[in-house]
Structure formats: C-alpha cells, structure tokens
Structure 1
C-alpha cells in the first residue's frame, strides 16, 4: 500500500511541477515578447465580439483552435530565438536566418489568423449592425 501511495505522490508531484514549469514559461514569454501582449488584447476583443455575435459551437471551435495555434507559434518562436541567442554569442548569419524564418512563421500564422477571423466574424458583424440600425 505504501508503494502505491508513494508512486501516486510522485506522479502528482511531476504533474504539479509540469504545470508550474508551464506557468513560469507563459509568464516569461509574456514578459519577453511584446507581441504576445498585442495578441492577448486581440484575443479578448475576439472573445467579446464572439459572445456579442453569438458564435456557433463550430465557429467557437475554430476561433479557439486558431488562438491556440497563434499563441503556440509565438511561444515556439520566442523559444527558438532564446535558444539561438544562447548558442550564438556574437553576430552569426546562420543564427539570423533561423530567427528570421521563425519570425516569418509567426507573422504568416498571424496573417492567416486574421483571415480566419474575417471569415467567421465579418458577415455576422455586418448583419448584426444592419439589424440594430433597422
């Protein structure tokens, strides 16, 4: 019985540590990457607009998935930039290429997220405004 409790305790501690590490990572990323703060504001606006426009379950699923992918890309980009900085103490053209490509992936993802937002929100927004004016 003690062995089982000990094992459960270790598993619980590992899970707790993983969530703690993840929380620290999120805080660090938000402190280091100003783009994430812009994304956070946009996310709050999208969620508020989605509530006001009464998005369907499928639309909410797409919006939440898009938000998750957008944030995930930005976290990976920030991680790669930090890792490259760790390995490269002075200017290095290869390090610059790596960082530029990661930044391009993040920006491309953000542009696609905006496109998805327009597809989901625009028609509903226009229809809601028209119904309020009439």
Structure 2
C-alpha cells in the first residue's frame, strides 16, 4: 500500500511541475503578445547572440551576456506584471498608480541602459579585434 501512495505522490508532483511549465509558457506568450518592448529585446538578443558567435566570445563573456539577457528580460516581465496588476486594481486615473508604473518603467530603463553598457564593454574589444584580423 505504501508503494501505491508513493507513485500517486510522484504523479501529482510531475503533474504540478508540468502545469507550472505550461503556465510559464502561457505567460511568456502573453507577455510577448502584449508587450512590444519584449519583441524589440528578442530581436536585439538574436543579434547579440549572432554577433557573439561571429566575434568568438569567451565562455566567461558568454556567461555575462546570458546573465545580462536573463536579467533584462526577467525585469521586463516583472515590470509588465506589475503594470497589469496596477491596472487591475485601479479602474480610473490614480496618481499613486501612475507613480508605481513610472517607477517600474524607470527600473526597466535603467536595467536596459546598463545592459547596453555591459554589451559595449564585452563586444567592442572583441569586435575591434575581429575587424583588425579581417584586414591583416
């Protein structure tokens, strides 16, 4: 009898994990459908990955780039969630709701600007070296 309960528990855990991934996938789809900034980020991410392959980033550089991409997109998902939540709670114009949304937008912009700085620090030297090697 104990084995049967263990199997049921594992099945329930497996189902819960599957549901969590399904919910997350639905959230990603919804965010990309509703938030145009994420589409811009996706295009930039594809470009950054292609450029990284072309200039031959080191594993450490790839780690920093991937972490930066993850933090940037994660921040944008949180920003989108908070904005949607504030809209849900506030049916008409509210100065506090505006402040919350503005602060979230500021956090996203700061994160995006820092990501650009990190990108320049990583890609610029590698790009210069690659271009110099093309003309040798």
TM-score, length basis structure 2: 0.97
4+ runs of 1 displaced by more than 3 Å? Answer: none
Q: 2:13 aligns to what?
A: 11
| Aligned mates of 2:5, 2:132 — CA distance in 1 | 66
Query: What does 1:53-92 align with in structure 2 at a 5 Å threshold?
Result: 53-92=55-94
Query: Does residue 1:112 correspond to 2:114, yes or no?
Result: yes
| Aligned mates of 1:6, 1:127 — CA distance in 2 | 58
Shift of residue 34 of structure 1?
0.1
Q: 1:101 aligns to what?
A: 103
| Aligned mates of 2:78, 2:68 — CA distance in 1 | 15
TM-score, length basis structure 1: 0.99
CA deviation vs aligned residue, 1:22-59 (integer Å, no higher than 9, x gap):
00000000011000000000000000011111111100
Q: Which ranges of structure 2 fall in alignment gaps of 5 or more residues?
A: none
Q: CA RMSD in A?
A: 0.5
| Aligned mates of 1:8, 1:131 — CA distance in 2 | 56
| Aligned mates of 1:73, 1:39 — CA distance in 2 | 12
Shift of residue 71 of structure 1?
0.4
